[in-house]
A and B are shown apart, each in its own frame.
Chain A
Amino acid sequence: DAKTTQPTSMDCAEGRAANLPCNHSTISGNEYVYWYRQIHSQGPQYIIHGLKNNETNEMASLIITEDRKSSTLILPHATLRDTAVYYCIVANEKLTFGTGTRLTIIP
Chain B
Amino acid sequence: SAVISQKPSRDICQRGTSLTIQCQVDSQVTMMFWYRQQPGQSLTLIATANQGSEATYESGFVIDKFPISRPNLTFSTLTVSNMSPEDSSIYLCSVWDRGQSGYTFGSGTRLTVV
Residues of A within 8 A of B (CB): 34, 36, 41-46, 49, 87, 93-100
Contacts and interface: CB of A to CB of B under 8 A. Distances in A.
Contact of A42 (B31, B42, B107): B107
B45 A49 contact: no
Contact of A44 (B1, B43, B97): B43
B: interface residue count bin: 20 to 34
Interface of B: 1, 31, 33, 35, 42-45, 48, 90, 92, 94, 97, 100-108, 110
Give the dominant DSSP class at A's interface. Answer: loop
Contacts of A94: 31, 33, 45, 48
24 contacts: A36-B103, A43-B105, A43-B106, A43-B108, A44-B43, A44-B92, A45-B105, A46-B100, A46-B102, A46-B103, A49-B101, A49-B102, A87-B42, A93-B31, A94-B33, A94-B45, A95-B33, A95-B45, A95-B103, A96-B45, A97-B44, A97-B45, A98-B42, A99-B42
Contact of A34 (B43, B102, B110): B102
Contacts of A98: 42
Contacts, number: 45
Give the dominant DSSP class at B's interface. Answer: strand
A34 B103 contact: yes
A95 B94 CA distance: 10
A49 B97 CA distance: 13
Nearest to B110: A41
Contacts of A45: 105
Nearest to A87: B42
Contacts of A36: 103
Contacts of A49: 101-102
A42 B109 CA distance: 10
Contacts of B43: 44, 97
Given A36-B103, A42-B107, A87-B42, 4 more contacts: A44-B43, A94-B48, A95-B45, A100-B42
